[in-house]
Structure 1
Amino acid sequence: MDNLDRHSGTWQAVTQWLQDRRQQCVESLINGSPNDDKLRGEIRVIDDLIANADDTPTREPLPDTDY
């Protein structure tokens, strides 16, 4: 996700949607749902997506060379 602008309005809207969807899944789990496994999987994917987007991309160090 090197090209992801975490400060853009688009990403903020996506993040808000993901957080809202995660909350819906959690509430469905609490209330009892026949799809518990699917909901847990969706929550994991949402958590992973948000966590990976929040990570600062690491760059490979340049090799030591004399220019």
Structure 2
Amino acid sequence: MMEVVLNVLGVVGLWLAVEYCLKHETAQSLEDASLIPFADDPEVARRVELATGKTVKAVAPEVAKPGWGNLEV
């Protein structure tokens, strides 16, 4: 019985912690955060935009600077 009570308290504590952390987030900021994994690849960002209709703020990947691409250690 004690284990059940501790498990319930753990779940309630976790739920309250998540609620507290997300208290000041808006729907727009959560939507933007869900699209972050696609932002570094423009081709994937384009496909996600076509599939979902949501705009992905894609950034171009950094190009290697001359002399920095083939370093051997």
TM-score interval, normalised by the smaller of the two chains: 0.3 to 0.5
Rg: which structure is higher? Answer: 2
Query: With CA pairs under 8 Å and 6+ residues apart, which has the higher RCO, 1 or 2?
Result: 1
